[in-house]
Structure 1
Amino acid sequence: MSSENGQGGGGAGGAPPEQLALIRESVREARTPRAKPRTWRGAALAERLPVARVLVDKGVLHLDRYFDYAVPAELDADARPGVRVRVRFGAGRHRVRDGRREGGGLIDGFLVERLAESDYSGPLAALAQVVSPEPVLSEELLRLARAVADRYAGSLADVLQLAVPPRSARAEKRPSPEPLPPPPVPDAGSWTRYEHGAAFVESLASGGSPRAVWNALPGPGWSEEIARAVAATLASGRGALVVVPDGRAAARVDAALTGVLGEGRHALLTADAGPEKRYAQWLAVSRGSVRAVVGTRAAMFAPVRDLGLVAIWDDGDDSHSEQHAPQPHARDVLLLRAALDKCGFLLGGCSCTVEAAQLVANGWARPLVAGREQVRRAAPLVRTVGDGDLARDEAARAARLPTLAWQAVRDGLRHGPVLVQVPRRGYVPRMACDRCRAPARCRHCAGPLEARDAGALECGWCGRAESDWHCPECGGFRLRAQVVGARRTAEELGRAFPAVPVRTSGREQVLDTVPGTPALVVSTPGAEPVAEGGYAAALLLDGWAMLGRPDLRAGEDALRRWIAAAALVRPQGDSGTVVVVAEPTLRPVQALVRWDPVGHAVRELAERAELGFPPVSRMAAVAGPPEALAEFLGTVELPSDAEVLGPVPVPVPVARAGAPRRTGAAPPGEHWERALVRVPPGSGAALAAALKSAQAARMARGSGGGGSASGSGGGGEPVRVRIDPPDIG
């Protein structure tokens, strides 16, 4: 990565970047290297290593490089590699001091290294300030951040904004505890339920670096099994990192780690802790006081020393995908860490993603599964009922339940709580014709019609009211709920079982646990509380709504959500029963009945390999206004084996359109398009480099595109680039 003069902002003003680059190259070739840099102020410089190479905190791709600054003598002691600094950057603003001009405004940055001389010929601006002498950017973290930026066609500064938390002066002044000696080697515990489970723990304890994809058995034991893997890693004198999708899962692993390791041996990094406490915990990890970390998505960059194990739980959860540029996925970040640090890797979950199956298929990781007899003993009994039976079954009228589901609820309530999973929150979000089940759509924009609390119909896209609807397919005038939300389902079940308490868990209020007494617990996917002793039964309603989504991952995601709910139910030997309302012949439904998520993922992987879909291929989504998108695709130098699919119309992002509704409808006449760029295995790095280079050149010309490859804004029409988009439609 080349370095430039800090005063000039790396060619941010004046001549075009290409012309500036040629001028600077000719100057470098003609000049004689200097022992020390010259500064504007003529201040005394550090005697040894007077040049500081700085990464400025500007997440723009055409400035994604290091800049050289002079180190004043008064900052010599504190200006160590890894500290936060403030520097003057850019030539747009100036002020006069001591009769000399100083250019640019103050901007934050990180001091990367100290050098004896700079390869820049002109005068160097001096470091303005060392914000804190605390080194927060280690060589390992910088190397990881650079790898993530390159993989996702983003800027290093954007990645470091995700990796290094905001500073808290009070937290830095607080001393971290002394590190504790390694704990004793734990026994394998319930890892013995899995084939090679005990060998996996033994390998970690002996200093090995095993890599495994773990299909966890249903039940609450997964958190203790993760804790034992972490304890075995600490016993070998190394550190461990565990990333989970949400705060509830983090609390369970936190409690398990405390039970296995005791107090003071691990840090919990979640947003619930607050900025100061979280930064204090992060510092304890950075200083080496704590060698184990469990946390949510941002913890994937935690600076654990002597890393021996990285683990991720439920990698298919959307929460693992970062929404800020360059939008990395926690699974891929941990895969990079395992490769860079040569440490152990554990990907676990009750279900199995296609990406996990690929790691096993290409031999990078080994499967960690239980035998079929163990699965049968741990899993509940799963029964199915087709959605068509719901309309024919007269007994289902009272509560939208077929007879089989109604009986399962009644029998389950005799022994404990019953879980009811509905795919949406709220109150009757979508409507359909009662006769032919065709979706009810707006006559103006073809958007979905929704029923509000007062019973009136309203379009979910344009907001127009509909008072005289009739079905264009069959002419019917009666509507039914296409997918009934959690609140409406709770009301209907309350009428069907009037003597039973009904609890709801969803976006407005998520329950962590519920008592083991008889009750109906209505929950949206991902918000299911844990029941003491397990649920006696579970109903998975409106399964077709999740399976029918126009998404490549619809089947995989539906199975993952079903298994997550069913795993909270008691084993079949304790009369645990799950009823799923979905077409029994569909592949995800059959995988749930057999409790075989691995087999489903393997078949999905084979189909995607045949069709050239991710993760077998690498893909990028490029979106923007039609003219800007066409200009970008016309200038980018894609790899020779790249294939461009589209473009096709897509909804305008809410922030761009300024629409007041959640749908992100565009103002009249404005629309975006999206193109997908696909490359075969082995060309992913070339694709990311090409897109990053084209986006950087576009930003340097002032054509817009924002601060990073995935951002928007700037001086013209934005183009958004995302590597490995989670939803390709």
Structure 2
Amino acid sequence: MTAPPRGGARPGKRSSPARSSAEAGAETGGVPIAARLPVARLALDLQPAHLDRPYDYLVPASMDGEAQPGVRVKARFGRQEVAGFVVARLAESDHDGRLVPLKRVVSPEQVLTPHVLRLCRAVAARYGGTLADVLRLAVPPRHARVEREAAAAASASETPSASKAPSGGQEEDAENGVGPEGGEDGPAGNWSTDPGGTGTSAWAPYEGGEAFLRRVLGGAAPRAVWSALPGADDTIPASGSGTGVPVPRWATAVAAAVTACVAGGRGALVVVPDGRDVARVRAALDAAGILAGAGGHVRLIADDGPAPRYRAYLAALRGEAGVVVGTRAAMFAPVQDLGLVVLWGDGEETLCEPHAPYPHARDVLAIRAEQAGAAFLLGAPGRTVQAQGMLASGWARELAPARAMLRAHTPRVRALTSVELARDGAAAAARLPSVAWRAARDALRHGPVLVQVPRGGYLPVVACSRCRTAARCATCHGPLGLPRADASPQCTWCGRMAGGWSCTECGWTGLRSVRVGSARTAEELGRAFTGVPVRLSAASAPTGVLDTVPGEPALVVATPGAEPVASGGYAAVLLLDAAVMSGGTHLAAGTEALGRWLAAAALARPDGQVLLVGDGAPGPSQALVRWDPGGFAARELEERTALGLPPAVRVAAVTGDRDAVGAVVERVGLTGQNVLGPVEVEDPSPAPARRGPDPGTGGRARQAATPELLDVVRPVRTVLRVPLDQGDELARRLRASMAVRSARRERGSARIRLDPEEML
């Protein structure tokens, strides 16, 4: 075990005999030490992997009352002052050496609960990361003003004037569905005597749906993978106003499940891909009687900023809110007495953390459900192969509507491939064939029409109009695009303009479109359907992403994930560029395309129609026509199992400099077919060349412009794969190898990632 730098706190040596705190820390510089439990065990925020371990410090008597498990502290480590958390108070330390006292307590707020700490350790072990990395994701940064506000509110609630009569408080809690026990006259009693009421009606169409809710209500921990019915419920009144918002049917079902959990006296956690879905779930919770605020639900989103996020975190920590609804940032929320975790849309990339150790919300919530003994509910418009793997292993059960019920709620779906449109002659190659144009025209007489486009922007990818060579930036070799019709070509990587561009193959200066974005599509549809309003919903649009649109005739052009909900549903849905959507090279290209198509098609009316335009991949196209994401995911899982691909196996990617990657992989000890590579990988930010940087243009620019003239160090990747039952051991070995690399200060760069998204 490598010792830390001189002058820092020493880690406890588990092999050494225990010593009393008085013997271990007699020299404290005259600082009086706490008489009871004088040793504090800390988890320090240290980046090097070989320093990922607990450290023991002495607790000064002045900090005895505040230095409790879960609080933030500062401690001297070597020559620096390091932040950390107290994870335990001990009577003795098993470190054979001198202990130093804590520097200071940052805040007496115990923000790291034992349950969250246990979860963070499990996530770090699963993904081969350090506890410090996971704690940065789990506990939001401190906001002193928010802590003072919360402390003032707590003091005010403890005064006699603010206190409530016991009976009145219990009655109010019962009305809000947050009573501690849910007795015969409380919410639990109402639910058990009204199985057909509004609370369970959202789950009546699903086989086993009401049984799932009854088990959640009774305090059990069922696990389910759920295929939601398409469509939106009638307009639900927004809380505190006379207006209303259309809410997707899945959000109403989630609210019903949360209501059952709260009625049983436990808390719930709901994680969704983005802020629009958070708003929809909150609107459904308001309609179900679980209102925002004290005793109800709270929103936890990182995009809200430090103060609102920390305020929501403290509300859950102190039990002021029994339900937390949020995005990826909420998966570690300290919900008290957790009884249900819900994840919607697990195939969305926003649910995968982009920072080390790159955990996915699906795995984090599954681990959390097991540790807390809570129910687990995973739903999505489609179905990922990982969710199908939960069903195949028996870890979860399927909740799906009967086939007759599904047919009654789904619109008619047609796949307009080139084979079906062959009779149209040359018109079959048009981006919007005549069949789709007539369908949109007829549907506009009855309501809005949704047009889904895979890419945002105007012309995101262009090429030479003569030889069809892709147009690339002369500086960084990124793809060129047109942001507007009258604009010059611009690099989509570095943003540089390419006004004097000419083809490197034939010298031609003309450009043609390769990919058409949502803005250009809206412009073309506006010309084709004169007099019809065109609304654009995309992150790159001037109006941004729309949440809802009225039920009046209009064309709504949206990118995947930005489709607004229409009042009464869409009369028709056009899914353009099917080949682009399903033509990816990664393993999940088919299931991702099907999920995005189903998410858009689910917004259509039951008597409407959905047209898939283009030659999409046969598998997801046929699954869309049959509305069978489960069957498609099951076939994908069978194929991956036969080929030894994830999730049938556990994989890890080691990426970086060739020598560094080789050293890390060698220490892991895998050989043969378990090691794939190394191979060179694309890097959107090219690595510096071996030669020195050019002062005039910069090292990156010069290397990218003339790669044949420089000895470029390109990153490589090696893939390791093992059977599922050896996945934890692989993570442990990779973690140990990275610790050795850190301790030896090996040259080069290397990073590990278990379950990389491109391989799932």
Of the structure 1 ranges 501-510 and 381-390, higher mean CA displacement relative to structure 2 is found in: 381-390
Identity among equivalent pairs (%): 51
Structure 2 residue 143 is matched with structure 1 residue 131: no
Task: State which of 58, 61, 66 in structure 1 corresponds to 2:46.
Answer: 58
Shift of 1:3: 11
SS at match of 2:513: strand
**Equivalences for 1:660-671 in 2 at 5 Å?**
668=710, 669-671=712-714
Shift of 1:259: 1.4
Cross-structure match for 2:345: 314
- Structure 2 distance, partners of 1:681, 1:502, is 50
SS at match of 2:70: coil
Structure 2 residue 215 is matched with structure 1 residue 203: yes
Structure 2 residue 685 is matched with structure 1 residue 654: yes
Equivalent residues of 1:37, 1:50 under 8 A apart? no
**Equivalences for 1:191-590 in 2 at 5 Å?**
191-219=203-231, 220-263=248-291, 264=293, 265-387=296-418, 400-431=431-462, 440=470, 450-451=481-482, 453=484, 454=486, 466-467=501-502, 480-508=512-540, 509-571=544-606, 574=607, 576-583=608-615, 586-590=618-622
Shift of 1:6: 9.6
Shift of 1:512: 0.8
SS at match of 1:580: strand
Shift of 1:467: 3.1
SS at match of 2:75: strand
SS at match of 1:382: strand
Shift of 1:498: 1.5
Cross-structure match for 1:709: none
Cross-structure match for 1:8: 8
Task: State which of 184, 189, 208 in structure 1 corresponds to 2:187.
Answer: 184
Q: Deviations over 1:493-550 (max 9, x none)?
A: 0110121111111113111111111111111111111111111111111110122111
CA change 1:515–1:40 in 2 (3 A) is: same
Q: Deviations over 1:228-261 (max 9, x none)?
A: 1111111111111110000000011011111113
- Structure 2 distance, partners of 1:262, 1:460, is 45
Of the structure 1 ranges 161-170 and 182-191, higher mean CA displacement relative to structure 2 is found in: 182-191
Equivalent residues of 1:6, 1:68 under 8 A apart? no
CA change 1:434–1:218 in 2 (3 A) is: farther
Cross-structure match for 1:611: 643
- Structure 2 distance, partners of 1:248, 1:230, is 19
Question: Letter of the aligned partner of 1:128 in structure 2?
Answer: K
- Structure 2 distance, partners of 1:672, 1:666, is 18
Question: Letter of the aligned partner of 2:258 in structure 1?
Answer: V
Shift of 1:383: 1.0
Equivalent residues of 1:469, 1:477 under 8 A apart? no
- Structure 1 distance, partners of 2:341, 2:14, is 43
Q: What TM-score do you get using the length of structure 2 for normalisation? A: 0.83
Equivalent residues of 1:239, 1:305 under 8 A apart? yes
Equivalent residues of 1:83, 1:111 under 8 A apart? yes
Question: Letter of the aligned partner of 1:273 in structure 2?
Answer: D
Shift of 1:281: 1.8
SS at match of 1:301: coil
- Structure 1 distance, partners of 2:260, 2:705, is 52
Question: Letter of the aligned partner of 1:487 in structure 2?
Answer: A
SS at match of 2:605: coil
- Structure 2 distance, partners of 1:443, 1:393, is 39
Task: State which of 637, 640, 660 in structure 2 corresponds to 1:628.
Answer: 660
Equivalent residues of 1:39, 1:126 under 8 A apart? no
Cross-structure match for 1:99: none
CA change 1:469–1:498 in 2 (3 A) is: farther
SS at match of 1:245: coil
Structure 2 residue 86 is matched with structure 1 residue 111: yes
SS at match of 1:193: coil
Question: Letter of the aligned partner of 2:399 in structure 1?
Answer: L
Cross-structure match for 1:713: none
SS at match of 2:536: strand
Equivalent residues of 2:649, 2:724 under 8 A apart? yes
- Structure 1 distance, partners of 2:629, 2:585, is 21
Q: Deviations over 1:595-633 (max 9, x none)?
A: 000100000000000111111111111111223222332
Count of aligned pairs between the two proteins: 683
Cross-structure match for 2:729: 686
SS at match of 1:683: helix
Q: Return 5+ residue gaps in structure 1 as ranges.
A: 12-20, 91-103, 704-715
CA change 1:536–1:400 in 2 (3 A) is: same
SS at match of 2:286: helix
Question: Letter of the aligned partner of 2:125 in structure 1?
Answer: D
Question: Letter of the aligned partner of 2:633 in structure 1?
Answer: A
- Structure 1 distance, partners of 2:311, 2:490, is 49
CA change 1:623–1:584 in 2 (3 A) is: closer
Of the structure 1 ranges 454-463 and 556-565, higher mean CA displacement relative to structure 2 is found in: 454-463
Q: What TM-score do you get using the length of structure 1 for normalisation? A: 0.87
CA change 1:578–1:478 in 2 (3 A) is: farther
Shift of 1:122: 2.4
Q: Deviations over 1:552-604 (max 9, x none)?
A: 11111111110011111111xx3x11111133770100000000001000000
SS at match of 2:128: coil
- Structure 2 distance, partners of 1:389, 1:415, is 26
Q: Deviations over 1:314-343 (max 9, x none)?
A: 100101000111110000000101111121
CA change 1:247–1:443 in 2 (3 A) is: closer
- Structure 1 distance, partners of 2:8, 2:349, is 42
- Structure 1 distance, partners of 2:445, 2:656, is 56
Shift of 1:664: 9.4
SS at match of 1:579: strand
Q: Deviations over 1:38-65 (max 9, x none)?
A: 2431311111111111111113211111
SS at match of 2:92: coil
Cross-structure match for 2:147: 172
SS at match of 2:100: coil
Question: Letter of the aligned partner of 1:339 in structure 2?
Answer: E
- Structure 2 distance, partners of 1:376, 1:125, is 70
SS at match of 1:188: helix
CA change 1:656–1:593 in 2 (3 A) is: same
Equivalent residues of 1:239, 1:304 under 8 A apart? yes
Equivalent residues of 2:454, 2:560 under 8 A apart? yes
- Structure 2 distance, partners of 1:44, 1:480, is 77
- Structure 2 distance, partners of 1:686, 1:303, is 29
CA change 1:33–1:109 in 2 (3 A) is: closer
Shift of 1:432: 6.0
Equivalent residues of 1:638, 1:687 under 8 A apart? no
Question: Letter of the aligned partner of 1:216 in structure 2?
Answer: A
Question: Letter of the aligned partner of 1:256 in structure 2?
Answer: A
Question: Letter of the aligned partner of 2:570 in structure 1?
Answer: Y
Shift of 1:389: 7.6
Structure 2 residue 125 is matched with structure 1 residue 150: yes
**Equivalences for 1:711-722 in 2 at 5 Å?**
716-722=747-753
Equivalent residues of 1:503, 1:519 under 8 A apart? yes
Equivalent residues of 1:7, 1:124 under 8 A apart? no
- Structure 2 distance, partners of 1:61, 1:74, is 33
Equivalent residues of 1:267, 1:294 under 8 A apart? yes
- Structure 1 distance, partners of 2:321, 2:134, is 24
SS at match of 1:192: coil
For the aligned residues, what is the CA RMSD?
Answer: 3.3
- Structure 1 distance, partners of 2:418, 2:348, is 26
Structure 2 residue 728 is matched with structure 1 residue 696: no
SS at match of 1:651: coil
CA change 1:30–1:395 in 2 (3 A) is: closer
- Structure 1 distance, partners of 2:700, 2:547, is 33
Equivalent residues of 2:316, 2:333 under 8 A apart? yes
Shift of 1:109: 0.7
- Structure 2 distance, partners of 1:5, 1:344, is 45
